[in-house]
Homo-oligomer: A and B are copies of this chain.
């Protein structure tokens, strides 16, 4: 039988109300009873029942982290950021993914809120569309959107457009004119923004966007990259550089396939990735890429949601983090 407030109260000769106040550090308790109660609590090794407490306070003490797919290394990295600064925070993290589920993220969020499972949420939302996002604002549970911009909700994201511009401009400056662009999962905001940046950089150099130079990778892996390489190779006039907003693994796939076919990287084909994953350092040549501050995004997100829950912050806040262009060897 677990020990309850009542057990402590009986031994201390007070009521459970008093014990409760002691446990919660409320003022106006005499030092004597405070000490006595605390001692007994310790002796009995009392732990408050958080469920009962939650029922009384109408708070669950936990934050939901909703991700599309935990298989994505990008998502994992953000989660790591969340958890690592979550250390000093009294909220518990509940993890949900929506892939292969009948519920959309919006429905899931709605349910979690109404069931009172969570006090707040962090949504990694690159794949969620605007209409869905509207649902979130209607609930009384606050939510921070990570990895995409959003008018109606707090958000923390990265300047994808600028990051893509940096990469493309770099290539342009190196003398490349025919630069291919490899996307994936087109249509989500971050990817769209990156293509925008690519386009803008070209425009600055008076180069018109050539839709035939934009390729869509089937997936975010090396095989998809290898497949895309075929298509790039077939281009006429030949392309001398590829910018790969689809992600580093695709870029690595392109590099490896190029080498296999005897195309020198970066000599014959310069390759720039997006994200900066660990493998970017192991491929040869090492991958030049646009780094996203993933841990930082998680860090901001958890801090923002907690500020909101503690009432330190209201109104909608947006935080834009900066990408960083990392020059290595592949371009």
Contact = CB atoms under 8 A, between A and B. Distances in A.
Chain A interface size, as a band, is: 35 or more
Interface in A249-308: 249, 252, 256, 278-279, 281-284
A95 B97 contact: no
A101 B88 CA distance: 8
A87 B100 contact: yes
Interface stretch (A75-83, A149-157, A175-183, A239-247): A75-83
Contacts of A60: 51
Contact of A49 (B95, B115, B279): B115
A48 B116 CA distance: 8
Q: Copy number in this complex?
A: 2
Interface in A51-81: 51-52, 54-55, 60, 62, 65, 70-71, 76, 79-80
A94 B92 contact: yes
Contact of A115 (B48, B55, B65): B48
A51 B48 CA distance: 15
B249 A116 contact: no
Contacts of A96: 92-93
B83 A97 contact: yes
Contacts of A87: 97, 100-101
A315 interface: no
B278 A47 contact: no
27 contacts: A2-B114, A2-B116, A47-B111, A47-B114, A48-B115, A49-B55, A49-B115, A51-B116, A51-B117, A65-B95, A70-B79, A70-B80, A70-B83, A70-B84, A71-B80, A76-B80, A83-B95, A87-B97, A87-B100, A87-B101, A92-B96, A92-B117, A94-B94, A222-B281, A222-B282, A282-B282, A284-B284
Given A49-B116, A222-B282, 16 more contacts: A49-B55, A49-B115, A51-B54, A52-B55, A55-B55, A65-B95, A71-B84, A76-B76, A83-B97, A84-B100, A87-B101, A94-B94, A95-B95, A249-B278, A278-B279, A279-B282
